[in-house]
Structure 1
Amino acid sequence: MFDGFTLTHINVGEVTLRVRHGGHGPAVLLLHGHPRTHTTWHRVAPLLARDHTVVCPDLRGYGKSTKPPTTSDHAPYGKRAMAGDCLALMRALGHDRFAVAGHDRGSYVAFRLAMDHPDAVRALAVLDSVPIGEALAHCDARFARAWYHWFFFAQPDRPERVINADPDAWYDVATKNSPERLGAENFADFHRAIHDPATVRAMLEDYRAGLGVDRAHDDADKATGRRLHCPLLALWSLRDDLGDLYDDIGAIWREWADDVRTGTIDSGHHMAEEAPDELAAALRAFLRTTKEDTFTEREPSW
């Protein structure tokens, strides 16, 4: 996987992130979702690296990134904290301004990064998501039935006991998630992660933060009229359920951003693994249209 990429661990303050980076050109940060690690991008990153510097970390708590202690409000696993990690990571690698694309839970980190640090993010792509605050505000019986895990994962202790009793059964190993579908090395990384109780707890803390501090941050931004001014691309999978849950995904994002483009990918939820060529092409086309006139790189500081 990731031919020509560097694999390393970088201390970004509160945590140390495992990260792969490679390529040359304007930087793009790729953020994975649950229950994946950065290796989910192994089929997409090399395609983007033809004309971009591509950075793929494990989010804090996930994979082989470190897992800080939590608090009663779960803020250490909130998207503001994760976004701060990503900003520090990109600066350590010499990138003061960059594009970011996030899938699933990673899209919430990408969104928060663009909201909190607009001078750093030149373009944002969100894959299979609407903002957490919007998802909960639009929550109805359809959402609760399809995404019940949001509310189950928020409960104390019980989700850990259920998942750790049989991680392979919970995460559909050998059916939806097999070496053939994920690629052998990506599968091995995913499989190792879901069998680590510390990683499982950290992933659940991500969801617990989602229903608390993350929603509060989204709601506070909406109440004060904060918006994104960078270009935003919203992509969703045709064979997943986001399009069934929301009548107009683009309209939701236009409540938050001035320049919204939309599109679909012919895949199930894990589009980076199922339709890498189509996804990479969509991202490259978007990044070309948002390319800035000047490109500068600093020497890494790590």
Structure 2
Amino acid sequence: MKKYILSSLFLFLLFSASAQNKKVFPFGIVEEIESKKLGEKRTLNIYLPQDYHPDSTITYPVIYVLDGSQNEDFPHIAGLVQFMNMYDILPKSIVVGISNLGKSRYRDFTYPSQDKRDLKDLPTSGGSENFINYLENEVIPLIDENYKTNAQKTIIGQSLGGLLASEILFKKPYLFDNYIIVSPSLWWDEQRMINKRDEFLETLSKNVKEQKSKNSDYKKQIFVSLGKEHPVMHKVADKLVDAIKKLEATKNGTIQLFYEPILDQNHATILHLAVYKAFEKFYKKETKE
């Protein structure tokens, strides 16, 4: 089912506008999914670029935003994309905000932990496998089937979302071409996944090789950033970056890593600037002076 976003604020504006004979400014579209993978109804918030038309032959990259609810990162990232489109800093793109359901992010963004402290603090955690299957088998196919998409896909994740984006990069790297990983919570499970990073690099390497054989121009771009964080956050981010650097060095430009800590920002303020910098790096050739 497809409808305009109508949060409580938009409903207020709608009624106010009706009383004053004014129009409401719609920002996006809502898609609802009866997810078999998650066993519940979930919501996607979708921003379409200016001049988008379903009958056009033009297709667009898709940017998937974790923590993509109306009151989370979706409107901010979609607004940033619109702004950067206005100045031709990145191609016009479709933005898909993947909404959370209540406190489901703690369940959806974490793999099962063996750490008693994690289990005590987040007793509903450990559902990332189902959520990744939801992305792969329900969300992405729905967007590709119903919207004018091309093959290029980007994922953005911060904090626990950065943990999930890292897990996808390690385990199912073919799902996305571009990864924007901000302040990833790789401390989860006593850093178990990042400490086993070398075991996952073979999967990433194999995927890149397969993609390169199909398209000689193919490249996978990975942007990692964090602000002024707890020392453990810096330690695990460095482990992630070091692992990708080793692989980058063997792939002749097929893997491009950008690591840009922004130490005058903190966990709460870094996302916008980091995403902006990531897009500048990914689409450097398209920047106009």
Q: Which residue of 2 aligns with 1:161?
A: none
The separation in 1 between residues aligned to 2:196 and 2:235, in whole angstroms, is: 19
The separation in 2 between residues aligned to 1:221 and 1:20, in whole angstroms, is: 35
Residue 103 of structure 2 aligns to a residue in which SS? coil
Q: Which residue of 2 aligns with 1:54?
A: 95
Q: Which residue of 1 aligns with 2:71?
A: 39
Q: Is the 8 A contact 1:107 1:126 kept in 2?
A: yes
Distance 1:6 1:103, change over 3 A: same
Q: Which residue of 1 aligns with 2:279?
A: 284
Residue 93 of structure 1 aligns to a residue in which SS? helix
The separation in 1 between residues aligned to 2:260 and 2:45, in whole angstroms, is: 27
Question: Equivalences for 1:179-198 in 2 at 5 Å?
Answer: none
Q: Is the 8 A contact 1:18 1:64 kept in 2?
A: no
Residue 77 of structure 1 aligns to a residue in which SS? coil
Unmatched runs of 5 consecutive residues or more in structure 1: 136-209, 292-302
The separation in 2 between residues aligned to 1:269 and 1:77, in whole angstroms, is: 23
What are the Cα deviations for residues 48-67 of structure 1, in whole angstroms up to 9, with x where unaligned?
14421111112466369999
Deviation at 1:122, TM superposition (A): 0.8
The separation in 2 between residues aligned to 1:80 and 1:256, in whole angstroms, is: 25
Higher radius of gyration, 1 or 2: 2
Q: Which residue of 2 aligns with 1:79?
A: 128
Unmatched runs of 5 consecutive residues or more in structure 2: 1-8, 11-25, 50-59, 86-91, 115-122, 209-219, 249-254
Q: Is the 8 A contact 1:232 1:260 kept in 2?
A: yes
Deviation at 1:280, TM superposition (A): 4.0
The separation in 2 between residues aligned to 1:19 and 1:60, in whole angstroms, is: 11
The one of 241, 259, 263 aligned to 2:260: 263
Deviation at 1:84, TM superposition (A): 1.8
RMSD: 4.2
Distance 1:218 1:57, change over 3 A: farther
Q: One-letter code of the match for 1:219? A: K
The separation in 2 between residues aligned to 1:129 and 1:226, in whole angstroms, is: 20
The one of 45, 48, 72 aligned to 1:23: 48
Distance 1:287 1:83, change over 3 A: farther
The separation in 1 between residues aligned to 2:167 and 2:100, in whole angstroms, is: 14
Deviation at 1:75, TM superposition (A): 9.9
Residue 196 of structure 2 aligns to a residue in which SS? helix
Residue 43 of structure 1 aligns to a residue in which SS? helix
The separation in 2 between residues aligned to 1:255 and 1:98, in whole angstroms, is: 24
Distance 1:61 1:227, change over 3 A: farther
Normalising by structure 2, report the TM-score: 0.55
Q: Which residue of 1 aligns with 2:224?
A: 234
The separation in 2 between residues aligned to 1:52 and 1:23, in whole angstroms, is: 7
The separation in 1 between residues aligned to 2:160 and 2:259, in whole angstroms, is: 19
The separation in 2 between residues aligned to 1:61 and 1:219, in whole angstroms, is: 31
Q: One-letter code of the match for 1:251? A: D
Q: Which residue of 2 aligns with 1:129?
A: 184
The separation in 1 between residues aligned to 2:234 and 2:197, in whole angstroms, is: 24
The one of 109, 112, 118 aligned to 2:167: 112
Residue 267 of structure 1 aligns to a residue in which SS? coil
Q: One-letter code of the match for 1:254? A: K
The separation in 1 between residues aligned to 2:42 and 2:97, in whole angstroms, is: 10
- State percent identity of aligned pairs: 10
The separation in 1 between residues aligned to 2:247 and 2:127, in whole angstroms, is: 20
Residue 39 of structure 1 aligns to a residue in which SS? coil
What are the Cα deviations for residues 2-28 of structure 1, in whole angstroms up to 9, with x where unaligned?
952113322332223222111233101
The separation in 2 between residues aligned to 1:78 and 1:63, in whole angstroms, is: 9
Question: Equivalences for 1:127-276 in 2 at 5 Å?
Answer: 127-129=182-184, 132=186, 135=187, 210-211=188-189, 215=192, 219=196, 222=199, 225-227=202-204, 229=208, 230-237=220-227, 239-241=228-230, 245-246=234-235, 249=238, 250-255=241-246, 258-265=255-262, 266-271=264-269, 276=272
The separation in 2 between residues aligned to 1:282 and 1:260, in whole angstroms, is: 13
Q: One-letter code of the match for 2:269? A: M
The separation in 1 between residues aligned to 2:78 and 2:169, in whole angstroms, is: 21
Residue 125 of structure 1 aligns to a residue in which SS? strand
Residue 45 of structure 2 aligns to a residue in which SS? strand
Q: Is the 8 A contact 1:28 1:52 kept in 2?
A: yes
